[in-house]
Amino acid sequence: MDESVDLKTVLKQHNLWLKNGRVGEGRANLTGADLTGAYLTGANGIIAIYVPGMSTRGDYLYAYNGPDGWTIKAGCHNVSPTEFRALVTDRPLYLLALDFIERAIEMQGESTNNGKVDRAGQ
């Protein structure tokens, strides 16, 4: 049985989910999706990091440049780099990954905070 759904349908449902305050069904789940040939215009910077042992579930840490600047996605958290740092102060592998992300952003000339990556507390 083929349970695949086309990408346009998934993104349309996800957009409705976002507009409805992230309530109910529709959150985009692209696990195992084949995005060969996907047209991703508007995607403006994404970084994905996996460090063995960083997450008990084997999750990746994502950073993406959205309309509000750079956001860190880790599990259910979608927060700024500064907010993420405060969440993981006792998790050295996450801190190392976040340092990498911030340096990569700086090297690209991008920003998370008015021209600078916010490295609060450093």
How many independent structural domains does the chain possess? 2
Say if residue 31 is in the same domain as residue 57: no
Say if residue 66 is in the same domain as residue 121: yes
Say if residue 35 is in the same domain as residue 83: no
Say if residue 31 is in the same domain as residue 88: no
Q: What is the pLDDT of residues 1-22, one digit of tens each?
A: 345 556 667 667 766 766 776 6
pTM, to two decimals = 0.56
CB 49 within 8 A of CB 61: yes
Q: Residue 62 belongs to what domain range? A: 43-122
Task: Identify the pLDDT of residue 39.
Answer: 55
Say if residue 27 is in the same domain as residue 71: no
Query: What's the rounded Cα separation, in Å, for the pair 64 and 78?
Result: 10
Say if residue 52 is in the same domain as residue 24: no
DSSP state of 113: B
Q: What is the pLDDT of residues 46-93, one digit of tens each?
A: 888 888 888 888 888 988 887 778 889 888 888 999 999 999 999 999
Say if residue 28 is in the same domain as residue 49: no
